[in-house]
Structure formats: structure tokens, C-alpha cells
Structure 1
């Protein structure tokens, strides 16, 4: 039994292997074989779209109810921390961009760049799996049910939601987690075969490097703050979240990465009840990486096209981004599609300029998403500490679950 455990490959190595194999195989796989994996990705992606609202409802509602009568306060605290982190990321991106981009983009011209999604291969067939309700509907419903159960003694409803959570955990551990590496392999296989992604990356290579460095700095800041608050080593906390970062690189969706983010947050020491509501919640409202990336690339496009840059306008743009992109992480590239309206109305982008933004964003969408979900772990630690202090003052004993398990004894990930 011990030898089997030693031979077992962890999720992070599997994801890294899937990314490498996807890039390598994309260089020589025939189109028909690539489309086989693209077809699987279409089916699995549609399944994810169907199940994500159920995951949000199944995890958040019972977790809120278990927080007790102060649940509404913890929702507000979590939302406030997430929004503050998002705005800080945007302002940091703005400050660094104004200091670096004018020199970095001097005498540069925009090449012919098209949307990478237009060049991707299409599946042989698709099966529609319409969600029962949208991500935002699931979020609001989870809030209503969770908070209501802290007010009334709805034992039957509470028991039903706990059983529903057990079903969700089974779907996560038995279907989603095992198939994620294959899905990520298909994503990178298709992108490599299309080749258009590399055209975009080459055009904006300097800006991409700057943004990547900024996202690393942002994560270090987030975990330094969280580590100081919870009195833990921030580097160990951040290292524990790396499987979530790698998963988001492949899925480009914060919501699709919820199962892995939740598992790693619990493994890093966040109590299961707090992790079960902060992680799904932050997956829909915490957009620090996406906001930073959109801000930096917006400024790059404005500098390249000689558009006027007004500090109050950019700051207002950042504050609006943090609000309008809520629930956009439910689908890959959703953040930039939601922000497209703001680019036109607030920054004066023309249709070709918006198209350029969409192309550059989608080409490296996964890096912003990975930053979003990894930062969710830092927020979960902070909320967990605040909750523990409040419970201690009120004399409330809170059971700390074993890392790697969800409340109620169901395993989050195998």
C-alpha cells in the first residue's frame, strides 16, 4: 500500500505534464487526431458549465448556514476584502504601466493580430448541457438559503443541502479532478496547432513579461499580508496553492478551478466551513489578476494608438471593472468580454482596438485567471483568522476539519 502511494503522481505534476505534452503534440499531431481531443474538451467544457452553478450552490449555501447568525457579516467582510484586493491590483498595474510602457513601446507599431479563438480547431460534434441556472443566480440563491438557515431552524432544508453538498463533492472528486489534466492537454494542444496564440504573444512580448512579473509581485504581496495576519509562512502558503495556479493556467476559468482551489485552501490550513464559502464566492468576485491585466493592456493599446490618458478616467475605469466583471470568471475569456463595453464608453476604444484587446487578453487569459484563484487562498486565510477571533470572543467553539476533506466528511479531491 505504501509503495502505491509513493508511485502516485500528484495533481500539480499531472497538470505540468499535460501542458508540456499539449504543446509538444500540437506540433506534429494530425488535424483529425487533434479534433478528437477538441471534441472531448467541448463535451467536458459543457459539463463544467452545467455543473459550476451547482457546485457554487452546493458548497456556499450549507457553509454559510454553518457559520451561524453572523454569516451575513462574513459575506460582507469577504466581499470587501476581495474588492479591495481587486482595486489594489488595478492601481498597481496602472502605476507600473505608466512608468514602464512609454519607454517599452517607444517606436512600436501594432502588427496584424487576430482573435486566437478564430484560428482554433472545432470539435466533430457538441452536446448542449444548458445550466439549470446561471452563476450569478446560483450565487444569490446560495446567499439567500444560507443566511435564511441561520435565522430559521430549517433542519430539513439544512440536511438536504448537506446531502446535496456530498453529491457535489463526489462529482468533484470522481469526475472533474481526474479529467482535468486531459482537458488541459486538449486546450494547449489546440492552441499550439492553431499557432495564432504565438503570433499575439510575439507582438506584445514585452508587455506580457511585464504583466507576468506584476502578477507574481501581486501574489507575493497578497500572501505577505495574509501570512502576517495569520502568523504563517507566506511562501509555504503560496506553494500549497500552486496546483490551483497550474489548473487555472489550463482551464482559464476561475469557476472551473473551484474544486482544486478549495482542496488546496483546506490543505494550507483554512478551516473547511470558511473555505467552502470563501473560495466559491471569491471565484466569482475576486478579479485581481484579470483587472491588473486588462488595465495594463488597455494602457498599452492607448499608448500605441496615441490615445489621451487621464488619471481620473483610468482610476474610474478600474473601480468599474471590479464591479462589472463579477461572475465573469464562469467562462474562459469572460472578463474581457464583460469589460468590452467599458473600453468603448470610458476609454474611447474603437471596434478594432477592442478587438485587439480581446485578442491579446484571450492569448494569455490563463495567467490572469491563475492569479485570481491563487489570491483567493490568501483571502480565505484572512477571513478564517477574522472568523476565529470573533468566535473566540463570543465563546464559540469551531471544529477544524482535517485538510483535504469537506465539511460533513466528504472528500474534496482524491
Structure 2
């Protein structure tokens, strides 16, 4: 009978010391895996990611350049159009109008297609946003108050710093115009008389009338964005979140999104053929000192606002690099520069805003609203034009007149959308309110408005993206996957999470 070599007290099935160590090691690995989340499975993806991070920068840019509608493609298209346009403008005295019109055809077709989907996008986005706001546990009215309040405050900041800068620096560089330059031609006199009808009280009346439309189909046909926005908010407030109409709205939004995705892919082509023909119209040789100072004052004010003041606010609230957010959102502000239309850029702006981490609910509410009332670039331009008209006549504005300009420019920037001819009309109104005669120099403002309008639009769109991020951070709204609460109720994405505390009374909804 063979003897057992195992120590006394241990049977043949008892594990050895080495086996115990192996078992304990396996248990430790399992616990570590369960705590860290399938650590073993993540090792390979981490290695792949490490390899991707070591890829040469030119390979990364090349891959990005191959992606249809990417920021790199749009930047290349814009840079190429500017280079060709400036080269032609400096070498050729005048470009025939027929050439300009023919070159503009591809860009104009793309812009028309983009504008065609803006209205359904605003309607579906606002309806869905209001429905989500009603379901927020923290009362969605908070989002509306913060958004509108932020827009008004930043508009005031834009106007105030522009007035200060224009009075201290730019007006001293402007020279008084001669008698011939101040003469008003017959055609310009007719234009000025038509626009003098828009006095401050007329602007207020027209703005409030534009809130409520008496013919919804007429507003749809004439792009009455403000009236459509209000109507969409009312529909979203009254709509049953679980009803069939709500499902139809969601399906329409999906369809619109597919169309927009295709248009964004061909955005570089559209941007190129929008920028190039407009640069053909630029006559650099005719730019005098006053004209250069007017353009410089407007662009400097927009630069100060969008690259210094707003980024300071953004960093103080969000604690992120604002310039990184702005650079990554290049497709939005480049498209805005090319189209000179915040409304036409709206699909791209919403896509870039959500790509920067803004919840869908916030983006669908703040961006369309900002497209209509957050006109920081326009607000900056008004004081520049009024001071330009005054200084070229030898008139120096006093403090009281600057206060009037601040108040009227704030009102005018919000009321720009419903007024025909946009900022050109409101410039006359503000100038008359501070007793500045409209002279032939107003024709200079008309001549360069198309050029400055592109920078105004890019400033407005950039400010909208910053605003969405700031409001999101302040209110703590997050996008979460729909899940089931402990009580069995479905929780929708984008719910507002209030600070921990006693239960809140949520009987009052938006």
C-alpha cells in the first residue's frame, strides 16, 4: 500500500500553498477587473489608441481633409477663394458683372438649398426643445430666463465697449469730409427718405407685431422667423409628449437632419463659390482713410468682443480653453462668413454646438433663439456707423448721445430681423435720434455693408456657440441616455439635475 506524501492533516484533495496563491491572484485580478471595468478587454483598445496618438500630424490632417464637409475642407476652400479673389482684384481693374453672376451660381444654389431647410429645422427643433423643457425636473423656464438674460447682457457689453473704443481711438483717426463728398445724390436721397420712416417707436411697434403673425402661411412663405419661432414655442407647450403628432415631429426632424447632413458634406464647394464672387466686387484702390477707419473700427470691435471679452466670461464660467472651442467650431463661423446669414448657417451651428458637448435640448433652444436676437456683431457695427457719419461732418457726440446710441443699438440689434433692409435702415434711425444728418457718406456705409455683414454674421454665430456652452455649465443640464428610474418611470435625455436638497414642487411646468 503506497504511502501518502502529503503532510499530516491534508487529504489528497486539499490545495497546496502554490495553488492557493494562484487562486488568490486570480480572485484579485477578477476584483480589479470588475472595479475598473473589464480591464483585460480594454488593454488592446488602449494600445490601439496609443498607436493612433503617435501618428504624424500631417497624417491626421490628411485624414481630416478627406472627410466631406470637415473643418479642414471648409478652411481650405475659404483660403483658396480669398487668395484667388484678392489676386484677381489687385490685378484687374473691374470684373464684369456677368462673370461675377456666373461664378456665384454654385454657391447661390447651395445657399438656397440651405435656406430651404432652415424653416423646418427651426420649427421641429423648437417644438422638441419646448417639450423637453416641460419635462425638466428643475423647471425649464430657468433655461429660457438665463438664455435671454445672457443674450441681452452680452449685447450691452458689445455696444458699450464699442462706444468707448470708437470715442477714444477711432474717431480721432477720421477726417472731416469735403462738401462734394457730403452731397446726397438723387438715388441716395430717395433711399434715405424711405428709411427715415423707421423712427424708434416704429421699430418697437414692428418688433412686437412680428411676435404674433396673423397669417402663419404668409410667415412661412416670407421667412418670418420670429413669428414662426413664437408659434413653434406655443405648439411645443401644448403638444402631448407621447402623442402621435409628437412622433410625426420627431420623424420630420430626422428627415431634415439627413438633408442637412448632405448639404454640410458639400459645404466647402458652396463656401468657395460664395466668397470668390463677392471678393470680385471689392475695389481696394478706392478705399480712402475714412473708409479704412470705418472698416477697422468695426472689425476691431468684433475682434475684441469675440476673442477677449466673451472668452474671459467663458473661461470664468466653464473653465475650459475658449479658443479651442472656437477653433473646433470653424465650420460654423466659416459658413457664416461665406453666407452672411445666421439663419442659413443655423444647421451647421447646431451641429457644431452639439459636437462641443452641449445637450441636445439646450442646443435646440438657445441656438435658434440666438439666431434671431443675439446680434452682437450687428450691435457693434451701429455705433461705428453713427460716429462715422458724425465725425465726417465735424460733429462730436457727447455723453448723453452715446447713452441714446447704447439703448437704441440694443433695441435695434434685437429688432433687426423683422425690419426690411436690416441694419442699413436702423443705422438711419439711430443717427437721426442723436441729431446726425444723413449725408452722402451714408452711401459709403451702403457700399461696404455686404463686406462687413460677413464678419457680423461670423461674430453672431461664434457668440451663439459660446452662449450655449455657458448656459449649459451654469444650469448643469446634461444629456443622458433614456433609462428607467427606481420607480419605473422613463427618464428622458437632457433632464435638468438640480442641486441635492429637499424634494422640490414640480407642479408648475413650462
Separation of aligned partners in 2, 1:98 and 1:139? 37
Inter-CA distance 332–133: structure 2 relative to 1 (3 Å threshold):
closer
Q: CA offsets per residue over residues 312-333 of structure 1, 9 Å max, x none? A: 3332333233333336469997
Corresponding position of 2:41: none
Q: CA deviation at 1:341?
A: 3.1
Within 2, Cα distance between the matches of 1:329 and 1:131?
Answer: 15
Q: How many residues align?
A: 382
Residue 58 of structure 1 and its aligned partner are, at CA, apart by 2.0
| Separation in 1, partners of 2:315, 2:388 | 33
Q: Hey, what does 2:430 align to over in structure 1?
A: 342
Q: How far apart, CA to CA, are the structure 2 residues paired with 1:31 and 1:107? A: 33
Secondary structure at the aligned position of 1:364 is classed as: helix
1:135 has 2:225 as partner:
yes
Superimposed CA distance per residue, residues 87-116 of structure 1 (whole angstroms, 9 cap, x where no aligned partner): 1101110011110023222467699699xx
What is the TM-score normalised by the length of structure 2? 0.65
1:224 aligns with 2:312: yes
**Where does residue 386 of structure 1 map in the other structure?**
474
Match of 1:160 in 2: 248
Which residue in 2 is equivalent to 1:101? 170
Of the candidates 236, 261, 274, which is equivalent to residue 362 of structure 2? Answer: 274
Matched residues in 2 for 1:110 and 1:390: separation?
A: 61
- Displacement after TM superposition at 1:73 (Å): 3.7
Spell out, residue by residue over 1:329-361, the C-alpha distance to the aligned partner (whole angstroms, 9 max, x if none). 699973334444333344534263443333233
- Other-structure match for 1:237: 325
1:170-220 alpha-carbon deviations (Å, 9 max, x no partner)? 221112x13433332223322232234773587522342343233222123
Q: Which has the larger radius of gyration?
A: 2
Alpha-carbon shift at residue 133 of structure 1 (Å): 4.5
Report deviation, 1:270.
1.2
How far is the alpha carbon of 1:85 from its aligned partner? 0.7
Match of 1:262 in 2: 350
Is this contact kept in 2: 1:325–1:339, CA < 8 A? no
Q: Does structure 1 residue 215 correspond to structure 2 residue 302?
A: yes
Q: 1:161-176 residue pairs with structure 2 within 5 A?
A: 161-175=249-263
For residues 31-46 of structure 1, the aligned pairs below 5 Å read: 32=98, 34-46=100-112
Q: Deviations over 1:71-92 (max 9, x none)?
A: 3442232111111111110111
CA displacement at 1:271 relative to structure 2:
1.3
Question: In 2, Cα distance between the equivalents of 1:226 and 1:87?
Answer: 17
Instruction: Report if the CA contact (8 A) 1:251-1:332 is conserved.
Output: no
Kept after mapping to 2: 8 A contact 1:248/1:254: yes
Give 1:301 deviation, angstroms: 2.3
Q: Is residue 315–residue 322 contact of structure 2 (8 Å, CA) maintained in 1?
A: yes
Q: C-alpha separation between the residues in 1 aligned to 2:147 and 2:248?
A: 26
CA contact (8 A) 1:22 1:189 kept: yes
Over the residues paired in the alignment, what is the CA RMSD in angstroms? Answer: 3.7
Call closer, same or farther: CA 1:352–1:111 in 2, change over 3 Å: closer
Report matched runs for 1:5-16 at 5 Å.
Answer: 5=63, 8-9=66-67, 11-16=70-75
Is the CA contact (8 Å cut-off) linking 2:342 and 2:371 kept in structure 1?
A: yes
Q: Normalising to structure 1: TM-score of the pair?
A: 0.79
Distance in 1 of aligned mates of 2:70 and 2:288:
28
SS at match of 1:68: helix
Partners of 2:77 and 2:271 within 8 A in 1: yes
> Which residue of 143, 151, 159 corresponds with 1:74?
143
Question: Which residue is equivalent to 2:119?
Answer: 53
Single out whichever of 345-354 and 206-215 deviates more from structure 2. Answer: 345-354
The answer to whether the 8 Å contact 1:328/1:335 transfers is yes
Q: Contact 1:50–1:132 (CA<8 Å) still a contact in 2?
A: no
**For residues 65 and 347 of structure 1, what CA distance do their matches in structure 2 show?**
48
Cα offset for 1:221?
A: 1.7
Query: C-alpha separation between the residues in 2 aligned to 1:366 and 1:57?
Result: 26
**CA gap 1:314/1:357 in 2 versus in 1, 3 angstroms:** farther
Task: Say whether residues 1:18 and 2:108 are aligned partners.
Answer: no
Deviation at 1:390, TM superposition (A): 11
Question: Which of 174, 182, 187 pairs up with 2:269?
Answer: 182
Answer with 89-98 or 24-33: which moved more: 24-33
Contact 1:58 1:168 in 2 (8 A): no
Asked if 1:146 corresponds to 2:205, the answer is no
